[in-house]
Amino acid sequence: MNRQIAGCQPLKLALVSAMLFFGTLTHAQSDPLPSWNDTAPKKAIVEFVERVTTPGSADFVPPAERIATFDNDGTLWSEQPLYFQVLYIFDRIETLAPQHPEWKDKEPFASVLRGDRKSALSGGVKAILEMAMATHAGMSTEEFGRMVSEWLDSARHPTTGRRYTEMVYQPMLEVLAYLRANGFKTYIISGGGIEFMRPWAESVYGIPPEQVVGSSIKTKYEVRDGRPVLMRLPEMNFIDDKEGKPVGINQHIGRRPIMAFGNSDGDFQMLEWVTSGKGPHFGLLVHHTDGEREWAYDRESHIGRLDRGLDEGPDRGWTILDMAKDWKVVFPPGMK
C-alpha cells in the first residue's frame, strides 16, 4: 500500500496536508488550559485527566464513567455580594410590587422595597425561602425559564456593571471544555435553583439541561384549556446543598463521579463522596483570594464560607486553588 501511495502525487499532497493539519492541532492542544498559570492545580488537573484517559493505564476509566461535577456559585461564576439568584429575587419583588400592595407592610418584602437588602436578609434562610416562593412559584416551568432569560438579558451586576453571564470564570470554562474533549460528562451540582440555571447553562457552560442538578420546588402537571403545563408550587422539593449534594448526585446520575469542583463548605460532602470512590478520583476547592480581580473571602464570609474545607482538604488530597496565584485571568477576555 505504501508503495502505491508513493506513486500518487495528489494523495501524497493530501497526506502531507493532513499531517500538517493534525500537527497543528496537537500543538494547539498542548496547552488545554491557557488561562491557568503553570502552578500545582493546573498540573494536577492535566495529570489526572491524562492518567484516566490513557488506554492501558492502570487508572484508565472508560468514557461512560468519566463524570465530573461542578458547583456553580463561586465555582463557575461569582457569588458576591450575594448569590445572583437572590439578586434576581430582589428584582422580581420590585417588578411585582404593584400587584402586591400588601408587601409594603410585610417583611421581608417591605425591606426589599425600601432598598434595605441587609434587613431583608436578616431573617436568614426562612426569609429567603419566603421571597423565593413568592417570586418563583405560581407560573409554569416554561414561563419561569423565559422570565429568567429576560432578566439575564437586561440585568447588570451591582458593582461590576457586567451581565451576570459575563461573570463566569474563563479558567473554568477551559476545564469544562478540556474534560468534554476527553470524554467526560460535565454536570452542575448547585444549591441554586435547577430551573434558574437551565435556561442559560447550555449556551454559557456547554452543559445541557439534563446535566444540571440543583435545588427545586415541587411542580404539578395540569391540563389548562387543553394545554398541558407543569405548574410551579410554593413548596420545597429538594435542597441540593451540603449532605444534599451526594443525594442529588445519586438521584440524577446514579453513579459516583470521579472529579468534583467546589468552593465552599457547602461542597464538602460532594468532594468527600467523590474522593472516597474506589478508583481514581480528584477534588478541587476554589479559594477566593483575589480581592483585586474578583473577591477575597473564606472562613468568615456570609456567602460561600470556606472553613472546614481549608482545614481538612489538603489531608484528604484535595487541590486548593489560589485564585490570585493560579489564574492568569478570571473573567472571559474582552471584558475587564
- What is the contact surface with a second copy in residues (CB under 8 A)? 1, 4-5, 7-11, 64, 67, 141, 185, 194-195, 198, 202, 208-210, 212, 216, 219-221, 223, 227-228, 230, 243-244, 246-247, 250-255, 269, 272-273, 276
> Residue 274's closest CA among 315, 240, 245?
245
Q: Cβ of residue 138: shortest distance to a second copy, in angstroms?
A: 17
Q: How far is the CB of 291 from a second copy (least distance, A)?
A: 34
Shortest Å, Cβ 228 to a second copy: 5
Nearer to a second copy, 8 or 18 (CB): 8
Q: Which is nearer to a second copy, 206 or 291 (CB)?
A: 206
Cβ contact 255:65 at 8 Å: yes
CB atoms under 10 Å from CB of 104, counted, come to 11
Cβ distance to a second copy smaller for residue 302 or 316: 316
Q: How far is the CB of 135 from a second copy (least distance, A)?
A: 19
Nearer to a second copy, 95 or 251 (CB): 251
305 is written with which cell numbers?
464560607
- Give the 3-state secondary structure percentages of the chain, helix then strand then coil, rounded to 5: 50, 20, 35
Q: What SS3 class is residue 24?
A: helix
Counting beta carbons within 10 angstroms of the beta carbon of residue 160, is it exposed (0 to 12), middle (13 to 18) or buried (19 or more)? middle
Q: Which is nearer to a second copy, 246 or 313 (CB)?
A: 246
Q: Are 152 and 163 in contact (CB under 8 A)?
A: yes
Q: Please state the closest distance from residue 224 (CB atom) to a second copy, in A.
A: 11
Rank residues 257 and 304 by Cβ distance to a second copy and give the closer one: 257
Helices (H), the chain: 2-6, 9-29, 40-53, 84-96, 109-114, 117-121, 124-136, 141-154, 170-181, 194-205, 244-252, 268-274, 308-312, 323-326
In the complex, minimum distance from the CB of residue 242 to a second copy, in angstroms, rounded to a whole number: 8
Q: Shortest distance, CB of residue 314 to a second copy, whole angstroms?
A: 18
CB of 74 to a second copy, least distance (A): 21
Give the nearer residue to a second copy in terms of CB position, either 42 or 198.
198
Q: Which amino acid is located at 177 in the chain? A: A
Task: Determine how many CB atoms are found less than 10 A away from the CB of residue 292.
Answer: 9
Q: Which residues contact 101 (CB under 8 A, 6 or more apart)?
A: none
d(C-alpha 257, C-alpha 186), whole Å: 10
Tell me whether strands 212-224 and 227-238 are parallel, antiparallel or unpaired: antiparallel
Closest distance between a second copy and the C-beta of residue 78, in Å?
A: 24
Which residues fall within 8 angstroms of residue 186, CB to CB, at 6 or more apart?
A: 68, 70, 176, 179, 180, 205, 206, 207, 211
Which residue, 278 or 336, has its beta carbon nearer to a second copy?
278
Q: Which is nearer to a second copy, 124 or 221 (CB)?
A: 221
